Structure 1
Amino acid sequence: MQIEVVKVKGMNRIGCVNGSKSTMNLLRPLISQGISAAKPRTFPARNPGSLLKWCLGAGTLGLACHVFAADPAPAANAAGTPAAPAAAPATPTAGAPFDWSKAPPVTAPPRPGMFSIPPTGPGYYSLWDVVTGNERQAPPVAPNAPYALMTTPAFEIDYRYMEKPGYEKDLFDPLKRIHMGEDFLLSFGGSFWYRYMRESDARLTNTSDNYHMMRSRFHADFWYQDKVRIFAEFLDARTFGQALTPAATDVNHTDMLNLFADIKLANVKEGPVYLRVGRQELLYGSQRLISTLDWVNTRRTFQGAKAFWRTPTFDLDAFWVRPMITQQSHFDNWDTKQEFFGLWGTYKPMKGQLVDMYFLSLDDNRNRAIGSNGLMGNSNTHTLGGRLAGDYNQFLYELEGMYQFGQYSNQDISAFAVASGAGYHFKGAPMNPQFWLRYDFASGDKNPNDGARNTFNQLFPFGNYYLGWIDRVGRQNIHDFNAQINLHPQPWATFTAQYHRFYLANKQDFLYNAAGAATLRDVTGQAGGYVGDEIDFRFNIHVNRQQDILVGYSKLFAGNFLKATAPGVSPDLFYVQYNMRF
């Protein structure tokens, strides 16, 4: 199986043809700076592990494409809520206009951990509904989740309801789903957010910081039927008034967040198979390992290639990408010293239930791994994991396990993490209450000079969501005993409260922050393992379909470890965020 690239009217068209070459051998030259050409990279002979991993990734995609082409079937789309399977579109009649009612296909956002179940039934579902006296009998059909933070990429927002007669009109409808003849579709959109931040003891220093963050995003989305797509999204992120040096995730002036092309390869059984090439956001499963990270001002993105298959009951992705390096005043480029590839499958046996299965590999050649006796080197981290999550008869549950192996400088990696939780939905009770009890663990390393590396690598996570919004604790070398309650005082208002108690998994290892950076350490272990307690409160007001306001407060109470390693530090955070999407 190989990929054939043909130049058609100034546009690359890619398809599967019979043959024996690996798919990825021809993909790699397409993936530098969006979808422009780049020189193929060869692995040095001294690094056979990297070559083996690359062959595995290329072989996976090549085999997938071979299977896909061998078994065509009518297409289907994975749309709607994460738990609801989408119906397959009818096979078009020869000569009939293309049916846009179920196209373009959309991947529903995956269910995170500590998920909440929104209210249903009669009520006011936005503050604007209250002002206008518009009491609804059920939640409205809307493209955006009613919350100021939304990790879902813009290219997965679903506007297909506009093809149905009698849908609820909106001010920005003229920008959406512009039909250009019978076969072409064009959409525009974007978002703007502003956040005020007030921090005390910021970044575990004795500095207080009050500052402002602004982010603008605009995108264009062009489709030829459901066969070819070109998506481009602009980003501009700025910060004002910071006392500390802005973090790398705070500022990115005038850049591209997404810039890719999709090509439909085939229909397999009940779903389409696509190939995506270019700059793209990735989001998978619980987002503990791979997330767009909407909390930060710049979001997270990658550049590379992904093949994906969507059916009502099973999704399968195979990808090879490199992380983007954020450069504040220059056009971002990918990190040529990091390779990230993986295979991710999600099985949805019934409404409300899911099973994730995945294998991920990160090849980091930046010479930053500190091994035994301080030896600097590279690292190869492989992650094998699985997850169960869902709700059943008002009970909520989740269990995820992750094991890592590979090489870290001159040490062998053996690390693991577990995330578990059980909850209950008091259905029918006032304010729609839901309660979670959880335990999260990620291994650490008590001896930096032995032959083993036991500290878990959290990869590219949405860490704040799970381990506190102050950002001082990451999923590395940590025990977290936590609880959460979700309330809806009104259908348009969401209140969330969390409590965390943190302990180091190994007293001799570092405390790692939400970005995975090592911050504080007592090599003797005499400071103890009790890091502290954190409380987090968030209140979201859903103003209308486009607008949300989020108010939050977090406080970290220092435990014995923090008192010994950062005396006098007990940080808190207050923020107000406004988000408008169109």
Structure 2
Amino acid sequence: MNNSRFFTFSAFATRKRKLAMAGSMQRWLLKLGVCMLSVGVPLSAYANPPASAPKASDAPKAAEAPKAAEAPKVADGKFDMSKVPAVSAPSRPGLFLLPPAGPGYFSLWDLVTGNKREKPPVAPYAPFALLTTPSYDIDFRYLATPGHEKDIFDPVKRMNLGDDWLLSLGGNFWYRYIHETDSRLNAAGTNNDFHLIRTRVHADLWYRDKVRLFAEMIDARAFGSELPPLVTDRNHADILNMFTDIKLANINNGPAYIRVGRQEMMYGSQRLISTLDWVNTRRTFQGVKTFWRTAEWDVDAFWMRPMVIEKGNVDNWDTQQNFFGLWATNKPKPGHLIDLYFLSLINDRNVSAANVLAGNILQGNADTHTLGGRLAGNFDNLLYELEGMYQFGQRSNLDVSAFAVATGVGYRLPLPMNPQGWIRYDFASGDGNSKDGRSNTFNQLFPFGHYYLGFLDRVGRQNMHDFNAQFTMHPMPWITFITQYHRFYLANNRDYLYNAAGQATLRDITGQSGSHIGDEIDFRLNLHMSRHQDVLLGYSKLWRGEFLDKQRPGTSPDLFYVQYNFRF
């Protein structure tokens, strides 16, 4: 632990230095972002990623809406609103799927009404119950295309208020029932049955492509549980997003904006920054971001603070954490992408002396810098991904040196039911000696760990090896079946097992409990009922390895859930 934590004068001086450094770095970052947006990058005329790129965490989008090749232009005194807003298309996650191409029935409603389609319909939502994409990036621009398929909610989308204004309204409701057996590794073996309900509504107002005002409310509730609800289960009537976009310029046929206010963030594979749609409250931040979008480049620079969920009060940002970074995505040709990023998290939360002695030091007193890159895409039916992340900085007076790697290859078999498989390996470093002046445990930051490391959430991207495989198929285009298998090991036997929230849970300081955490299998079945409705059923089971058998003998974790999701 820092000596400054024990001496008042030294603590004050350290705090001043940290605040000065944070302020300086934030100002530098914003200047760099504006500079990049002003200078631009010479571009080639490539199309955006194809329809196979998924729009959701677990499933691909049925079809992409038209993309904006350049800024709208004034004609005959009227502004062309058909390409507003300039939507940020989500990046492919890892373990992405290539969607069924048709012909067939793409929803249960299609089947019931006999509407057999030659190809997937153009639709704003992915055909899956989980959707990490923020509401403000759901693409309804296809409604400006003559002859588009009509929908009952069209009248509240893209409402023209005169020639220069657009207003859209929307929302989402879900209900989930969960049954857990030992899923929190309870020593007493307490099971848990409970219900989650979440409601979201939003309004989106544009003046030409110059100014945007977006607001989204959330109400998340949990009831009926035997165990105390998690912090992420409840947030009563609060703000999820509330921001203003102001256009700075058009650079190389791409708009550049600054966004100020409360906003969700989602980048790349979502291993480090995600909206975390599995939890009932989602994750959000508050701060400022500059971003530039073209057919070939997406470039973002931001300074944010995470929001602290307060169930019965208005949420406030965490003044002890400053998160800033620079993220660039290059799309060299359709179906392929390159992510390059630098991220910094300055966390001034105090870590207690007891936790420092126990080596549990990832939750504060740290300046963590992450440098990384990612390649992902597909060559026809061959799928691939490789991501590497290196961290440096200081943590409780220890020098940070940590890294993580995620890699995999997949293949889609040219057979009925669209079968696809992935074989993958994920690694994040751990620390075996907290007294050697170094801290080698990787910090996963703000991830969508639930998607990658098992739905039981026992393993986070910290101090772990995960040898895993995924198999998917579509018995019909509206049915998605996904199964994953994981074999988990500790990267270092003397470090903690960290859960999906990044919290230290179990540890054997002697290393005598071994490294094999256990084996998990996950099943998910998604039924796409209609354009607006999905039903998701899932089951997960974890078999204890040597480590869990010695640390939590007798536990047999499993999870069953069923979820209904409605969007409009």
> Is 2:216 aligned against 1:216?
no
Kept in 2, the 8 Å contact 1:77–1:311? The answer is no
Q: For 1:134, which of 91, 115, 118 is the aligned residue? A: 115
Q: Give, in angstroms, the shift of residue 440 of structure 1.
A: 0.2
Q: Which residue of 2 aligns with 1:55?
A: 24
Q: Give, in angstroms, the shift of residue 191 of structure 1.
A: 0.3
Q: Which residue of 2 aligns with 1:116?
A: 97
Kept in 1, the 8 Å contact 2:29–2:302? The answer is no
Paired amino acid for 2:443: N
Pair 1:324–1:560, CA change in 2 (3 A):
same
Kept in 1, the 8 Å contact 2:182–2:190? The answer is yes
Kept in 1, the 8 Å contact 2:50–2:334? The answer is no
Q: Give, in angstroms, the shift of residue 64 of structure 1.
A: 3.4
Q: Deviations over 1:164-213 (max 9, x none)?
A: 11111111111111100000000100000000000001310111111110
> Secondary structure at the residue paired with 2:474?
strand
> Is 2:404 aligned against 1:414?
no
> Is 2:444 aligned against 1:482?
no
When the two chains are superposed, the root-mean-square deviation of aligned CA atoms in Å is 2.2
Q: Give, in angstroms, the shift of residue 371 of structure 1.
A: 4.1
Q: Which residue of 1 aligns with 2:253?
A: 270
Kept in 2, the 8 Å contact 1:76–1:87? The answer is no
Q: Give, in angstroms, the shift of residue 215 of structure 1.
A: 0.2
Pair 1:512–1:167, CA change in 2 (3 A):
same
Paired amino acid for 2:393: G
Q: Which shows bigger deviation, 54-63 or 300-309?
A: 54-63
> Secondary structure at the residue paired with 2:462?
coil
- d(CA) in 1 for partners of 2:76 and 2:304? 39
Paired amino acid for 2:244: A
Q: Deviations over 1:420-456 (max 9, x none)?
A: 00111113x1110111000000000111222111110
Q: Which residue of 2 aligns with 1:503?
A: 489
Pair 1:368–1:230, CA change in 2 (3 A):
same
- d(CA) in 2 for partners of 1:170 and 1:153? 21
In the alignment of these two chains, the number of paired residues is 539
Q: Give, in angstroms, the shift of residue 63 of structure 1.
A: 3.6
Paired amino acid for 1:516: G
> With structure 2 as the length reference, what TM-score do the two structures score?
0.91
Q: Which residue of 2 aligns with 1:257?
A: 240
Q: Which residue of 2 aligns with 1:512?
A: 498
- d(CA) in 2 for partners of 1:373 and 1:195? 37
Q: Deviations over 1:476-506 (max 9, x none)?
A: 0000000000100000000001000000000
Q: Deviations over 1:453-487 (max 9, x none)?
A: 11100000000110000011100000000000010
- d(CA) in 1 for partners of 2:209 and 2:476? 39
- d(CA) in 1 for partners of 2:505 and 2:358? 20
Q: For 1:472, which of 441, 455, 458 is the aligned residue? A: 458
Q: Give, in angstroms, the shift of residue 60 of structure 1.
A: 3.1
- d(CA) in 2 for partners of 1:314 and 1:82? 19
Pair 1:523–1:352, CA change in 2 (3 A):
same
Paired amino acid for 2:178: M
> Secondary structure at the residue paired with 1:131?
helix
> Secondary structure at the residue paired with 2:410?
strand
Q: Deviations over 1:37-56 (max 9, x none)?
A: xxxxxx96655455335423
Q: Give, in angstroms, the shift of residue 59 of structure 1.
A: 2.0
Q: After superposition, where does 1:374-413 map in structure 2 within 5 Å? A: 378-413=365-400
Kept in 2, the 8 Å contact 1:408–1:453? The answer is yes
- d(CA) in 2 for partners of 1:115 and 1:73? 30
Q: For 2:126, which of 145, 159, 166 is the aligned residue? A: 145
- d(CA) in 2 for partners of 1:350 and 1:229? 30
- d(CA) in 2 for partners of 1:286 and 1:47? 35
Q: Which residue of 1 aligns with 2:279?
A: 296
Q: For 1:166, which of 121, 126, 147 is the aligned residue? A: 147
> Secondary structure at the residue paired with 1:167?
coil
> Is 2:518 aligned against 1:532?
yes
> Secondary structure at the residue paired with 2:323?
strand
Q: Which residue of 2 aligns with 1:225?
A: 208
Kept in 1, the 8 Å contact 2:243–2:263? The answer is yes
- d(CA) in 1 for partners of 2:40 and 2:418? 46
> Secondary structure at the residue paired with 2:148?
coil
> Is 2:329 aligned against 1:360?
no
Q: Deviations over 1:84-132 (max 9, x none)?
A: 8944236624653111221111011110000001000210000000000
Paired amino acid for 2:281: T
Q: Which residue of 2 aligns with 1:17?
A: none
Q: For 1:180, which of 149, 161, 171 is the aligned residue? A: 161
- d(CA) in 2 for partners of 1:374 and 1:561? 19
Kept in 2, the 8 Å contact 1:68–1:267? The answer is no
Q: For 2:546, which of 542, 554, 560 is the aligned residue? A: 560
Q: Which residue of 1 aligns with 2:184?
A: 203
Q: Deviations over 1:362-414 (max 9, x none)?
A: 00001127546879871110000000000003111000000001111111111
Kept in 2, the 8 Å contact 1:98–1:182? The answer is yes
> With structure 1 as the length reference, what TM-score do the two structures score?
0.89
Kept in 1, the 8 Å contact 2:543–2:556? The answer is yes
Q: Give, in angstroms, the shift of residue 547 of structure 1.
A: 0.2
- d(CA) in 2 for partners of 1:392 and 1:287? 22
Q: Which residue of 2 aligns with 1:242?
A: 225
- d(CA) in 1 for partners of 2:205 and 2:471? 41
- d(CA) in 2 for partners of 1:309 and 1:569? 50
Pair 1:510–1:92, CA change in 2 (3 A):
same
Unaligned runs of 5+ in 1: 1-42
Paired amino acid for 1:210: D
Q: Which residue of 1 aligns with 2:83?
A: 102
Kept in 1, the 8 Å contact 2:47–2:334? The answer is no
Q: Which residue of 2 aligns with 1:444?
A: 430
> Is 2:141 aligned against 1:156?
no
Q: Deviations over 1:274-313 (max 9, x none)?
A: 0000000000000000000000000000000000000100
Q: Deviations over 1:191-239 (max 9, x none)?
A: 0000000000131011111111000000000000111000000000001
Q: Which residue of 1 aligns with 2:262?
A: 279
Q: Give, in angstroms, the shift of residue 69 of structure 1.
A: 4.5
Unaligned runs of 5+ in 2: 1-11, 54-63
Kept in 2, the 8 Å contact 1:185–1:223? The answer is yes
